[in-house]
Each structure stands twice: as structure tokens, then as C-alpha cells.
Amino acid sequence: MEQQKEKAIDVEKLLSNKLKGVSVAALESGVAKVISELVGEDYKCTIGEVKYTLFSGADFHVKIELTYNPQS
């Protein structure tokens, strides 16, 4: 029988949360762009308080709203 090799967990990589280097404005812009492309209407995104988690994650509230544009 072959024994499965266990991969070593890179704890340093796991604990260095790269999300902290991404601006909230960039996240809002990216989410709004994707939603707008999917739906075919202009949407805006607002992200509330960001809480970064220990294991390279983040928790936050996302609000998506249709952008009112009287010229369209």
C-alpha cells in the first residue's frame, strides 16, 4: 500500500493576511463592476466595517444598490 504524503502547512503564509493590503475602495469598485456586468445595469457597492480573520480571511457587510442615472 502506498502511504499518502502529508503536505506541510505553511503557517507563516496562512497567518499573513494579504487582504489587509487591498483597499476597501478597490473591493467596492470590483464588486460593483462584476454585479453591473452580470445584471446589465449600473450598481454601486458599499462595504461596511471590515474585520480581518486570523486565517487570511475577512468578514464584512456588503450593500449593493442600483445607481440612479437620470440620463439612461
CB neighbour burial string for 40-52, b if at least 16 within 10 angstroms, e if fewer: eeebbbeeeeeee
Number of domains in the chain: 1
Residue 30 lies in a domain: yes
Q: Is residue 12 part of a domain?
A: no
- The answer to whether residue 24 is domain-embedded is yes
Strands 58-59 and 51-52: antiparallel
pLDDT digits (tens, 9 = 90+) for 26-63: 999 999 999 999 999 999 999 999 999 877 889 999 99
- On whether residue 53 sits in a domain, the answer given is yes
**pTM reported for the whole predicted model:** 0.71
Q: Which residue has the higher pLDDT, 10 or 41?
A: 41
Domain span including residue 32: 19-66
1 is a domain residue? no
The reply to whether 34 falls in a domain is yes
